[in-house]
Structure 1
Amino acid sequence: MTTAASHEARFLREVDAFEFVARDLDAILHALETWRTQLAADLLAHRLEPAGLPTHSPLAQRTNGIHTLLSESASRWTQQRVSLLPAQSLAQAFDDCALLLVFGKFNAGKSAFCNFLADRFLALGKTVQYFHAEAGDLVETVERFCEGSTETTARLQGVRLGEKLVLLDTPGLHSVTQENAALTRRFMESADAVLWLTSSTSPGQVQELDELGNELRRGKVLMPVVTRSDMYEEDEVDGAICKVLRNKSTATRVEQEADVEARAQEKLRSLGVDVARLESPVSVSAYMARAAGHTPEAMDEAGFERLYEALLTITASTLDYKRRKYAELVLHHLEEDVLGALQRDVLPALGGLRAAAQAALLALDECETRLVNAAWRRSVPMLPALLDAFMEARDVDALSASLARAVDENFAQEAQAQLTDYADAIAQDHSASLPFTEATHFNGETIDYQPLYSALQNAIRDDLMRRSKAACDACRATVERLSEQAAALTASIDSQGSALIALKTPLREGVSS
């Protein structure tokens, strides 16, 4: 194989020919801003109002908790939008370059991989410029990336290969320091495609893909690269048996790549990611290519010809993403930070509120009967004394009024105790509206004590049932009104989610698969 005919040479020529023709994104950006404005208006229009519920009520507390979630989310949205600025700044700094994020655990060989490709560009007469992020600025340096078996990348660093390709070597998300993991998340947004490096000593650790799920949902291509695809074999050197490092066999590589691809596909499906964004894995050994002097045969045997061929296949989709990237950054913020927060935090809280409302309605059914019985047990013992007074005075109006006051007081005390969570809903006057006069059957001459006692007992129960139903109906109306508000807010958020999904179609039309 000649250099002129190699995939490596073709790849370098294609990189030189990259054209970054910006798409007109004004219409989609306007649509995204309109969506955000409409969402804010809808959230305000569907604000929950727990009228009739005191602040100590569990339903009121749930409602206030949702208000707090919405308020805190709105505050975070602004902060999160600001937090994207460094990524946007980095993307703008390399507006004329395709940015590939080199991703993987700290022992995946990311730095060695980037250095190797940089060496190849230099060897073929291309310029190479290393840089790193420092205090928000990009600082050029002549230092190559540190390579080692322990974590050596403590900051965002990159290398510009030629004029139009940049590799971003980041601290891994499974880094030993929280700062390193946070740094990677912060700059993943700026990449146009992702190279997922995984060492052949423990290939395809798919838990790493949890952190890449969003990048793939965003329409970026993911190419797995199995690094350190070599192994020690026993050989005879100068008459002595020793271990020699060699490339893994083609069969071993194919088997390992198939395993990585199968497990990666399964993981992506579990994450709800389109597996079409996943490219077939490629195995390489930078060590073996270097050890053999980067000859065409050595590059081929070490897997780099296949790597360059694979990179050529993702060029179109990478450039497609770059052309729409600014709108994608806005979409990511709205979809993940704004809508995502509502779906993750607010919708479950609304579901909890509606479930609590249904439980409250069932409890009110039981409470209605319990309230009647409790107030009746308070009121009936008062009858003998009231009847004794009545027997002497023969004053029906006085009996009716005294009994009404006693029943009203007893009901009010029980209602306050048993409907304390709805005190505001039952605050109206509960004085008796039905006279007890009819129950006396008093004709002015003869009084039969026992029938009168029984009739008044029944009259008290009938009145308490009326009062209890009226009070509990007022409570039910309050609960049902709040539940309906929660349902309306839920439907509004769901509707806005569908509207945002619909905006993806015009943004991603014509995306290469």
Structure 2
Amino acid sequence: MKTDLGNEHRFIAEVDAFEFVAQDLGAILDSLNAWFERLCVELQAHRLVSRGLTERSPLARNADAINTLLRDAVPSWARQWASLEPASALADHFDDKVLLLVFGKFNAGKSSLCNFLADRFAAHGKAVQYFHLDSGRIVETSARLEEGTTETTARLQGVRLGENLVLLDTPGLHSMTLENAALTQRFTDSADAVLWLTSSTSPGQVQELDDIARELHRNKPLLPVVTRSDAYDEDEIDGEIVKALRNKTARNRALQEADVAARAAGKLVAMGVDAALLRTPVSLSVHVAREQGQTPAALTEAGFDRLYGALLAIGEPALAYKRRKCAEILLHHLEENVLRTLLRDVLPLLDQMDEASRTAVDLLEQQREKIAAGIWRSVMPTLPELLERHAETHDVTAIRNGLSQSVLDAFTREANEHLAGYVVATDPALATITVADDAGYEDIVVAQAAGSGHPDQVVGVDYRRLHGELVQAVRESLLSLASHAADQCRASIGQLASQSDSLKQVLWTGERELRDLKQRLRSGAA
């Protein structure tokens, strides 16, 4: 290639010389699909099971919310993948061309730049063909892209420059219509490189940088262009003051470009995106170049020589991206729609459930004490009457049976109140009241005088020892029942926490494996 040609000549010549070499992506595509299938199987296998918890349990409700997310995710992912079909079809249609997506805030001068570059290609004798998309179908037209100061672009339109380059002009990001903004987002995947236009009247708006970060995260070339880099000056011509449109000074342009670069880089770092992927911004003025007749000097002063140089620099990266694009589209879907959704929506719920589990375990000791205290308050006032009732018959067994039933009833009542979120299996044996074999009623005898001829007289019964043993037996029983219930609850919480940890491991393993596949794809080892 001759070295004395300007950047415009060099750029158009390089576009004509683009070589589209196919890359065998079969193995990496199989690996990506296998990753997704394996993830779906693992998520199904690791659905949370709330054993030992009732529907009143906050933990069970947390688990149900997570399971619902996992259940609804799969059909949602299928819909999202289907929504990428138009972008894939567009990419397939232009499989032998580099697609440069021109996007930015509405009124950034996207259509004007596309038309201007078309004029420049035509001036070099290259074929120019305009088109637009109608329900996903490419319709060729002779009409130039409509330019204006309002949001005129209501559909995806574009122009083919020469045989190997296509510019896609999109409705504005953060558009006045949600439909237009959604249309832009839907087709970003079709591009091999991105030209981000931002007007010099408000360059590098922060709300635009979220979309830039998304494209840079996808590792495709992106060139920021500061448009409308011009201003009106007043001149005196033939004694009259007139306004003339002029390029902004080199100093003004450099300051704006540095500002856009600095704020863009800062935003990208905050988003965890490598700021080195951001290309150096360039400034230009389509209007001044037109008004000054598109002469070589006018083009250079308006910034087009720098633009062509920047476009030359992203040519090879764009071709490299194009060669792996079909795998990148699937990777983007798996990263952004599948994995990111899980990490964003499911992981926080798992963390919340883990925190709730720790709180529930800490609360169990209080609940155990409340159950034991409730049983004590309910049962102990009945003991004196029970002892009196069976004093005449000395029926200790009846007393033990009555107390056992009272303890069991009181436990059931207290557990239902304090452990309403748990399924508690009661062991009746723990409510059984036992005392020593020789513990019972003791007769109070009045001894008669020796030789009186009268037998000793029983005047009452003493059950102090029996009372003491029954009190101790009730205490041991209620503590055993309360502890047994708390242990069951603790086990139910532990099982759910273990399931949560396993599900987290599935997500983290999936994240690591997909990161490895991405590195493999982009390192050329696909």
Give the TM-score, by structure 1 length: 0.96
Match of residue 251 from structure 1: 251
Match of residue 137 from structure 2: 137
Q: 1:436 aligns with which of 434, 437, 459?
A: 434
Q: Is the 8 A contact 2:230 2:246 kept in 1?
A: yes
Q: Is the 8 A contact 2:407 2:431 kept in 1?
A: no
Match of residue 86 from structure 1: 86
Q: Within 5 A, what are the aligned runs for 1:257-272? A: 257-272=257-272
Match of residue 448 from structure 1: 462
Match of residue 475 from structure 1: 489
| Mapped partners of 2:425, 2:469: distance in 1 | 30
Q: Is the 8 A contact 1:397 1:437 kept in 2?
A: no
| Mapped partners of 2:437, 2:106: distance in 1 | 88
Give the TM-score, by structure 2 length: 0.94
| Mapped partners of 1:409, 1:59: distance in 2 | 27
Match of residue 192 from structure 1: 192
Provide closer, same or farther for how the CA distance between residues 372 and 35 of structure 1 changes in structure 2, counting only shifts above 3 A: same
Match of residue 500 from structure 1: 514
Q: Is the 8 A contact 2:80 2:337 kept in 1?
A: yes
Partner amino acid, structure 2, of 1:484: S
2:391 aligned counterpart, secondary structure = helix
Match of residue 489 from structure 1: 503
2:472 is equivalent to residue 458 of structure 1: yes
Q: Within 5 A, what are the aligned runs for 1:60-459? A: 60-422=60-422, 424=423, 426-432=424-430, 434-438=432-436, 441-442=439-440, 445=443, 447-459=461-473
1:138 aligned counterpart, secondary structure = strand
| Mapped partners of 1:21, 1:250: distance in 2 | 40
Partner amino acid, structure 2, of 1:506: R
1:392 aligned counterpart, secondary structure = coil
| Mapped partners of 2:501, 2:26: distance in 1 | 35
| Mapped partners of 1:185, 1:163: distance in 2 | 26
Match of residue 456 from structure 2: none
Provide closer, same or farther for how the CA distance between residues 451 and 315 of structure 1 changes in structure 2, counting only shifts above 3 A: same
Q: Which has the higher contact order (CA 8 A, sep 6+)?
A: 1
Q: Is the 8 A contact 1:357 1:483 kept in 2?
A: yes
Partner amino acid, structure 2, of 1:495: T
Partner amino acid, structure 2, of 1:501: R
Q: Is the 8 A contact 2:127 2:163 kept in 1?
A: yes
| Mapped partners of 1:123, 1:280: distance in 2 | 28
| Mapped partners of 1:306, 1:260: distance in 2 | 17
CA offsets 1:152-181 (integer angstroms, 9 cap, x no match): 111111111111101111112210001001
CA offsets 1:49-100 (integer angstroms, 9 cap, x no match): 1111122322111111111100111110111111111100000000011111
Q: Percent identity?
A: 52
| Mapped partners of 2:408, 2:217: distance in 1 | 64
Q: Is the 8 A contact 2:441 2:466 kept in 1?
A: no
Partner amino acid, structure 2, of 1:70: L
Partner amino acid, structure 2, of 1:311: L
Partner amino acid, structure 2, of 1:360: A
CA RMSD of aligned residues (A): 1.7
Match of residue 51 from structure 2: 51
The answer for unaligned runs of 5 or more in structure 1 is: none
1:212 aligned counterpart, secondary structure = helix
| Mapped partners of 1:430, 1:346: distance in 2 | 41
| Mapped partners of 1:169, 1:314: distance in 2 | 19
| Mapped partners of 1:476, 1:248: distance in 2 | 72
Residues paired across the two proteins, number: 508
Match of residue 451 from structure 2: none
CA offsets 1:275-318 (integer angstroms, 9 cap, x no match): 12111011101011111111000000000011001100111111
Partner amino acid, structure 1, of 2:259: D
CA offsets 1:20-68 (integer angstroms, 9 cap, x no match): 1111101111111111121122112222111111223221111111111
| Mapped partners of 2:244, 2:494: distance in 1 | 77
Kindly name which structure, 1 or 2, has the bigger radius of gyration based on alpha carbons.
Answer: 2
Q: Is the 8 A contact 1:198 1:225 kept in 2?
A: yes
Q: Is the 8 A contact 2:433 2:473 kept in 1?
A: no
| Mapped partners of 2:400, 2:309: distance in 1 | 99
CA offsets 1:373-430 (integer angstroms, 9 cap, x no match): 01110111111211111212101111111111111111111111111111x2x13443
| Mapped partners of 1:239, 1:34: distance in 2 | 77
Partner amino acid, structure 2, of 1:339: L
1:226 aligned counterpart, secondary structure = strand
The answer for unaligned runs of 5 or more in structure 2 is: 445-460
CA offsets 1:325-352 (integer angstroms, 9 cap, x no match): 0000111111111111111111111111
1:482 aligned counterpart, secondary structure = helix
Residue 11 of structure 1: how far off its partner (Å): 0.3
Partner amino acid, structure 2, of 1:430: P
Q: Is the 8 A contact 2:46 2:503 kept in 1?
A: yes
2:390 aligned counterpart, secondary structure = helix
Q: Is the 8 A contact 1:3 1:9 kept in 2?
A: no
Q: Which moved more, 1:268-277 or 1:306-315?
A: 268-277
